[in-house]
Structure 1
Amino acid sequence: MPNGSLDSYLFGMSYSLSWPVRYKIAIGLASAVLYLHEEWEQCVVHRDIKSSNVMLDSNFNAKLGDFGLARLVDHELGSQTTVLAGTMGYLAPECVTTGKASKESDVYSFGVVALEISCGRKPVEAKADPSKVRLVEWVWDLYGKGQILEVVDMRLNTEYDEKEIECLMVVGLWCCHPDPTVRPSIRQVINVLSFEAPMPSLPSKLPVPMYFAPPMNMCRFSYTSSNFTGSSVKDRTQCSCTTCSTFNSSSAGSSKALLKLNKAVV
């Protein structure tokens, strides 16, 4: 893509995207996820939605790429249990504890990207003040205090539409709700961002997720994975237990269909 990836503009370059371009990218990304979840012949769970996988064409239209971790799911099933995969900071909490990837976990990842677009920072900043280390927690805390605009990316220099940026951040928090049953569908996200539906009213404090912890010996994790070409890809988390290796080999048959879809989406 002529303009590279979204993360390079949010975190790497001195040049900053204007707010109208950022909002267009957010809606474009949501539209791509809608196609995957509801409009193709099978539901596709991407499992690695993040700003570095959002590519920008010459007009800064968003294109979702990298389907190396994607899985096909029947529409009526809605979710499937898989090997834990994705990028830390964008992973929904239930993925970490259960290994289950779903449309809801994709929506969580979209929510993190929405907050990145608004705040201009990564989901985890280890060197930040303790209250600001995790982006979702920091933004939710200020939302509860009625001060959500304090986290807006300073590089925007107040040159933004307050209604739009507040909407994107609140929708981002809604998508990042710890309870997957409370998260919106991606179609609901688009309706709110298009101001065709009201913004949600969220709790003033980030709810605490409650999950049963898996056995300690269930899996071992590493930060490498393999894409369709067989090359090693860092910055991902994948289980390396025997069961998951068996699953990976059984799911390889869907690769051709996903490659076909990849061309359609990008």
Structure 2
Amino acid sequence: MKVLPEWIMVGFSAATCKYVESHTLYSWEFSSSLTVEEETSGNRARKIKIFIGVVVPVGVVIAGTVIAFIIWRKKYVKRTTLETTNLISINYHLQRGAGPSRFSYIDLASATNNFSKHGKLGERGFGAVYRGYLNDLDMRVVVKRISSGSRQGKNEYVTEVKVISQLRHINLVKLIGCCQDRNDFILVYEFMPNGSLDFHLFGRRSPLTWPIRYQISLVLASSLLYLQEEWEQCVVHRDIKSSNVMLDSSFNVKLGDFGLAKLMDHEVGHKTTGLAGTIGYLAPEYISTGRACKESDVYSFGVVLLEITARINFVDPGGKSDLGLVEWIWGLYGKWELLLAVDAKLGKDFDEKQVERLIIVGLWCALPDFSSRPSIRQAIQVLHMETLMPNLPVKMHVPMYHVSLPSLSSGSEEPLVTHSSIDVGC
């Protein structure tokens, strides 16, 4: 009585921001040692106030929960409908006999010895990869099983089946077939006996000779030319890296893993896709804007060229632990000491002119300013010695991106991006 006013209202409230939760009040009680004699009308008024104070907040909570559930339900139905439409589209093409073959889950479980750990080749993307053998086709295959419950993995499954099944090029990994059985989404590829390029560059496999490395560079460039200019649409791979460059029994190159690929018309310069790929291979403008384009794939290709040529475990003479491969090699280029970057596994058994050419083309493709990068056709011409090598700046240029929000009246949802360059010492 000495602290509180004459009338007190007790209520309950809760909030979870954008998340949907159900809050249920099972019971509550209130007791007081205070005894106050009031008239009947006063008791009735107090009961009305208490009723309003309890019912109104609870009603607001219930209404908010119902509205949030309706919004979530609409988004869920829309997403599920889109996934179902994609799967129906795939089934339609498969039933017409187009694209890869369709396998049953039992067939693939048998081919991989029930997805045995002994046959597991590793984890790639959103699924595990297994070695398998199809008795009916008398063929060794690689089976990629999408992780259960991975929505992004299912999206990659749809993209792989719809994109790579349409492409026809000798230097692209062939998709043999697929399987969608309830919650299982499985892809079947041709088996590549010599694995991926990164195993030979960074792993314990026998080192590749220089002629094989140079040939890998030329063939990889040829496969990119097909994707960017020679097919009916431009295919932006978005995940070009040495672990996706596969080698057959004769060390012929085949580019694989099209789960992140995007299709666009040849006239379209870029497409807002959201950031995806592997750190170290991503172009700086793609990281800043989320816009995928041919030039961002050219950047990744340039990094792979440098990996093919250079030793990865380099010692940074400047003592900067965060210095990347591109920056380190550019420092050697500025002093014209490119041969110091050559992989020690090669010894002295390499063509110096080819090494310099490959490194310079790699730096050219990895220019931070995307407008200064070559097209893949221009890069191929230099690699085949059909044109002169580019004259690159002695110091590496680092682009500075300025993102400005459009006015509300413009109606545009994409950021307006400009860029400039500054010189930094390497």
> Taking structure 1 as the reference length, what is the TM-score of the superposition?
0.77
What is the DSSP-based 3-state SS (H/G/I as helix, E as strand, rest coil) of the residue aligned with 2:401? Answer: coil
The residue number in structure 1 matching 2:390 is 200
Contact 2:199–2:205, Cα closer than 8 Å, also in 1? no
The residue number in structure 1 matching 2:381 is 191
Task: State the Cα distance separating 1:212 from its structure 2 match.
Answer: 1.7
Question: How many matched pairs?
Answer: 214
What is the DSSP-based 3-state SS (H/G/I as helix, E as strand, rest coil) of the residue aligned with 1:36? Answer: helix
Q: Work out which of the residue numbers 68, 75, 87 in structure 1 matches 2:278.
A: 87
The RMSD of aligned alpha carbons is 2.1
Write out per-residue CA displacement over residues 192-239 of structure 1, whole angstroms, 9 at most, x where no aligned residue.
Answer: 000001110100000011102589xxxxxxxxxxxxxxxxxxxxxxxx
In the aligned structure 1, how far is the partner of 2:349 from the partner of 2:235? 37
Q: Work out which of the residue numbers 22, 27, 32 in structure 1 matches 2:218.
A: 27
What is the percent sequence identity of the aligned residues? 62
Q: Which stretches of structure 1, 4 residues or more, deviate above 6 A after TM superposition?
A: none
In the aligned structure 2, how far is the partner of 1:115 from the partner of 1:100? 24
Consecutive unaligned residues in structure 2, runs of 5 or more: 1-191, 406-412, 414-426
Structure 2 residue identity aligned to 1:94: E
Q: Work out which of the residue numbers 3, 6, 9 in structure 1 matches 2:200.
A: 9
In the aligned structure 1, how far is the partner of 2:259 from the partner of 2:403? 28
Q: Work out which of the residue numbers 340, 357, 360 in structure 2 matches 1:150.
A: 340
* Greater per-residue helix proportion: 1
Q: Work out which of the residue numbers 102, 107, 131 in structure 1 matches 2:298.
A: 107
Greater Rg over alpha carbons, structure = 2
Structure 1 residue identity aligned to 2:327: E
Task: State the Cα distance separating 1:14 from its structure 2 match.
Answer: 4.7
The residue number in structure 1 matching 2:259 is 68
> Taking structure 2 as the reference length, what is the TM-score of the superposition?
0.48
Q: Would the alpha carbon gap of residues 162 and 130 (structure 1) be closer, same or farther in structure 2, given more than 3 Å must change?
A: same
Q: Would the alpha carbon gap of residues 210 and 40 (structure 1) be closer, same or farther in structure 2, given more than 3 Å must change?
A: same
Q: Would the alpha carbon gap of residues 78 and 153 (structure 1) be closer, same or farther in structure 2, given more than 3 Å must change?
A: same
Q: After superposition, where does 1:141-180 map in structure 2 within 5 Å?
A: 141-180=331-370
Higher relative contact order (CA 8 A, sep 6+): 1
Q: Would the alpha carbon gap of residues 50 and 177 (structure 1) be closer, same or farther in structure 2, given more than 3 Å must change?
A: same
In the aligned structure 2, how far is the partner of 1:8 from the partner of 1:67? 20
Consecutive unaligned residues in structure 1, runs of 5 or more: 216-242, 244-266
The residue number in structure 2 matching 1:209 is 399
Q: Would the alpha carbon gap of residues 117 and 129 (structure 1) be closer, same or farther in structure 2, given more than 3 Å must change?
A: farther
Matched, 1:181 2:181: no
Q: Would the alpha carbon gap of residues 14 and 59 (structure 1) be closer, same or farther in structure 2, given more than 3 Å must change?
A: closer
The residue number in structure 2 matching 1:54 is 245
Task: State the Cα distance separating 1:125 from its structure 2 match.
Answer: 9.5
Contact 1:44–1:72, Cα closer than 8 Å, also in 2? yes
